Chain A
Amino acid sequence: MPADGVVDRLAQLTLFADLRWPELEAVAHTFDEEVFGAGQRVLRQGISGGAFYVILEGEVAVVIDGNERSRLGRGDYFGEISALTGGVPVADIRAETLLRCLSLPGPQLEPFLLEHPTVMFRMLQAEARRLRDSNRWE
């Protein structure tokens, strides 16, 4: 059961921007809170059974085959691709600072999104943006 303060923090994240207070509270109680030290790994490339994470505080590096590809920070999330496709993570996620996250075991993401379609829409928007940016001709 995450802390009371977590609800306030959730309310500020784009992903959950459409939710009302009791819904936010339910979200806070559905997810687990996890804290990692700088350098600790959160998700591991090629290892099954991962979770979906939303960053409340701190920064992570996305590392593929040992090479850092990008950074994610507050309000960003990761692990959704393996959770949605049933595959294994394609990257290591490594905490670069003290990292506070909410997590949901992979198989629970689908029922969660079906219960919260506005969150699903926000996620779809973000995925669409990522796809657009990765297809942009330089």
Chain B
Amino acid sequence: MSAPDAGPSPPGDYEVVVVGSGPGGLQTSYCLARLGVRHAVVSADDGPGGMFRRFPLFERLISWTHSSADVPLHSREFEAHDQNSLVADEPHLRAFVPAQLAEGRRRPAREEMAAALAQFAERAQLPVRYGARWTATRRDEDGRLLLETDAGEYRCRAAVFAVGMTEPWVPRIPGLGLEHHYVNVERTSGRYRDRRVVIVGKRNSAFEVGEAVVRQGIRELTLVSPRPPDLGRLARSPLRPWYLTPYDEHVRGAPGRYVLNASVERVERVEDGYRVHTLDPTRPEPLVLEADDVVAATGFQAPLRDLPELGVATVLDGRLPALTPLFESVTAPGLFFAGNVTQAAQGLRKHGVASVSGMVCGFRYNARIVARHLAESLTGMTLERPAVEPARIVPYLLSELDRAPELAMQKGYLARVLSVSEHGVRDEGILPLEVFVDGEHDGVAATLEFDADEEIRPVLYVRRRGILREAVLPSHPLRRYEALAYREALDGLLRPLLET
């Protein structure tokens, strides 16, 4: 009989327990370890990688990793060139994905992502206990959390769930079931040759599977869902250049390629296929689609298990937890989230623009924010907030707008924040913009945002004597913000604040 406490993260008492060993869990564990927060990591899997052990099924990722850049490979600035690696303070733990990428590729395959994550977990010596499936959650009388796992029970003051959006979700449409879901699409080459395929859905997985079956030589492909493809947002959609062949052929009138905006009323099984009954509110008659195969590319949900019973409010039919800007449940204190579930924290959503927290390039920074917040709120530790000399403030903010990968990736969601008080000007770090905007302290937050015309603009939020002011600066064609015009604009905006 082996000792029950052998290996990393044995059951017991911790400040924090992290659930999951995908990119979100690994990044959170790394950040907690850097700050010296005692934590355990439990994972149901038998190795690192999370969703990249399985997804995406057909295509490469839609996020970039450049092989050449104007900054060194292992620098912080390179993170903007590499959306897929986890982030670290030590250069030797940075940029694992570029090293995995096959020659000539600019987007990683699933296996390359998984290998880079495994390398990160090993080199950073993250204390992951594999084969420890989280099964139940409750609170004891002191308010501490108890997590039951296959490996035993863990007690903690806060838990971070990095469980991914990995459970297939199918809307309640009669005749459409889990067996039709994207995850169950057969990958045998030629399986869909000469077939008529209806895909329910018009988001990433729908276009991904559409592209994959088009390549197999299918006869007819129809994508159908009520919401039109997000064409207004296409300019910044990572889908556009890589998956949109079916849509491109549809708008150009290719026979047998259709993208429909209609609700699917029911899916009827007939002798050798399906009839998909759809309704387009702008048309008087229902439209019936004949198909040999039906695929539900209807998305995923977070496996929240019993968390709703602990009071976690959810959004989208229970598919995601409703989150504060610091990624805590809005209704159940101490329950935090990491990884792509953090897309539930929407931020200011100016002009309808959401965060990119559903992607590694977004949530890797969210994990750092959660870790810093937990370090201060649980352990009473005070993180350093370096003083910024008055003469350095404007050049510092401009260089952050120019080069900070957090701002470049998480546009409109993350900001560089400086506080101004009788103690001088302090660097509060990278924070969710919403935390500064809805806070009370005087200071300035610098961020990059898309405007209503999809232009990228530097935006400053300045609070002086409790009054908040927003200043949207002009865009720059090369996105360089250290030019004189920006310097003068910032000087003018910040002068009154610094005089108080």
Interface residues, chain A, CB within 8 Å of chain B? 1-5, 20, 22-23, 25-26, 28-30, 32-38, 40-41, 44, 46-51, 98, 100, 103-108
Contact = CB atoms under 8 A, between A and B. Distances in A.
A1 B468 contact: no
Contact of B324 (A28, A32, A40, A47): A40
A48 B472 contact: yes
Contact of B227 (A1, A20, A35, A100): A1
A48 B437 CA distance: 13
A37 B225 contact: no
Interface of B: 171-172, 225-227, 232, 261, 263, 279-281, 299, 313-319, 322, 324, 330-331, 346, 348-352, 434, 437-438, 449, 451-452, 468-470, 472
A34 B317 contact: no
A26 B317 contact: no
B281 A23 contact: yes
A102 to B, nearest CB: 11
A79 to B, nearest CB: 12
Given A29-B225, A49-B451, A107-B351, 5 more contacts: A3-B316, A25-B281, A26-B261, A34-B346, A35-B330
Nearest to A31: B227
A105 B351 contact: yes
A79 B358 CA distance: 27
28 contacts: A1-B227, A1-B316, A5-B317, A23-B281, A25-B279, A26-B261, A28-B226, A30-B227, A34-B346, A35-B314, A37-B322, A37-B331, A40-B324, A40-B330, A41-B438, A44-B437, A46-B469, A46-B470, A47-B437, A47-B468, A48-B350, A49-B449, A49-B452, A51-B349, A98-B313, A98-B322, A106-B452, A108-B232
Contacts of A105: 349, 351-352
Considering the complex of A and B, which 7 residue pairs feature the smallest CB-CB distances, nearest first? A105-B352, A37-B330, A49-B350, A3-B317, A35-B322, A29-B226, A29-B227
Nearest to A66: B466
Given A23-B281, A51-B349, A106-B351, A36 B227 contact: no
A47 B331 contact: no
A66 to B, nearest CB: 9
Contacts of A47: 348, 350, 437, 468, 470
B313 A35 contact: yes
Contacts of B172: 4
Given A25-B263, A35-B322, A2 B225 contact: no
A100 B314 CA distance: 10
B316 A26 contact: no
B448 to A, nearest CB: 14
Contacts of A51: 349, 352
B324 A37 contact: yes
